[in-house]
Structure 1
Amino acid sequence: MSIDNTEVIRQGYDAHARRDFAAIFATLHPEVEFVQTDLVPWGGSHHGHEGVREFFGKLNARIETQVVPEEYVEAGEQVAVLGHIQGKVRATGHEFTLRIVHIWTVRDGLVTRFEAYIDTPAMLRALAA
């Protein structure tokens, strides 16, 4: 029995909360694409597992975060996740909380695309504080 797209995404967030990156990568298609505004230091378009490793490396070098999903909206292959992130800037210890919208595309049980939308002005202020 296959799991639905929302459950694939829930499992990914649970793995992230445990910092279980092997479990995260098990949910990602080999040609996955991660996209976030290039206004943040870890932003841009990251392709394949190597690109996702680069994304997480840049992200985790600058901030420590916990994603808190509040609502899942499934629309065919896409799953929108509304919620917030709580975190801390590693360089300064400055804490932040900001809203997020994540758009995931799932095909045949694997994530093929991830788009991260965050309160970018608030994130930039936190990084500068």
Structure 2
Amino acid sequence: MPDSASLALIRRVYESRMAPEVTKEVMAPDFVWDITPGFPNSGVYYGWDSVAKDFFGRMTGYESFGAVPEEFFADETGHVFVYGHYHAETKTGNKADIRFIHLWTVRDGQAVSMRQAADSHILQEALKG
């Protein structure tokens, strides 16, 4: 069965590794990024510029950090669920794989929100050094 348009759009975000030219095209101007309390830099961010600066821009304790999607699911109402894990390597040499689920909402061909749930404890422990 072919991907729905919403699923294909979100799959493109992960495949690009959040490349600026892709996020600019895919994210709606009023995009909402909602990160689980307890996760580093948790909170709700409004607009991709804020996500890039205030969430990703504050991720300073890592040598590398990336989302690795494992499964994608979509419904008929523009919701895309992504199950996967983050792979993190800290500047102190610790490595961690942290399970996540992302719930994306797509409207009119653009992502309007992403809500995250992840095991914050594992990442907090890795960042302790």
TM-score category by the smaller chain? 0.7 to 0.9
> For 1:81 and 1:58, how far apart are their aligned partners in 2?
24
Alpha-carbon shift at residue 108 of structure 1 (Å): 1.0
Count of matched residue positions in the alignment of Structure 1 and Structure 2: 123
1:96 partnered with 2:91: no
- Report the equivalent of 1:29: 28
Report if aligned partners of 2:7, 2:72 keep a CA contact under 8 Å in 1: yes
Report if aligned partners of 1:104, 1:111 keep a CA contact under 8 Å in 2: yes
- Report the equivalent of 1:39: 38
> For 1:58 and 1:22, how far apart are their aligned partners in 2?
21
Q: Which moved more, 1:109-118 or 1:36-45?
A: 36-45
Report if aligned partners of 2:68, 2:86 keep a CA contact under 8 Å in 1: yes
Output the TM-score relative to the length of structure 1.
Answer: 0.86
Q: Which runs of 5+ in 1 are unaligned?
A: none
Spell out the pairing of 1:37-116 with structure 2 (5 A cutoff).
Answer: 37-53=36-52, 54-59=54-59, 61-63=60-62, 64-75=64-75, 76-90=77-91, 92-116=92-116
> For 2:13 and 2:22, how far apart are their aligned partners in 1?
7
Q: Which moved more, 1:4-13 or 1:22-31?
A: 22-31
Report if aligned partners of 1:71, 1:83 keep a CA contact under 8 Å in 2: yes
Q: Which runs of 5+ in 2 are unaligned?
A: none
- Report the equivalent of 1:118: 118
Output the TM-score relative to the length of structure 2.
Answer: 0.86
- Report the equivalent of 1:11: 12
Report if aligned partners of 1:66, 1:87 keep a CA contact under 8 Å in 2: yes
Q: Secondary structure at the match of 2:39?
A: coil
Alpha-carbon shift at residue 126 of structure 1 (Å): 1.1
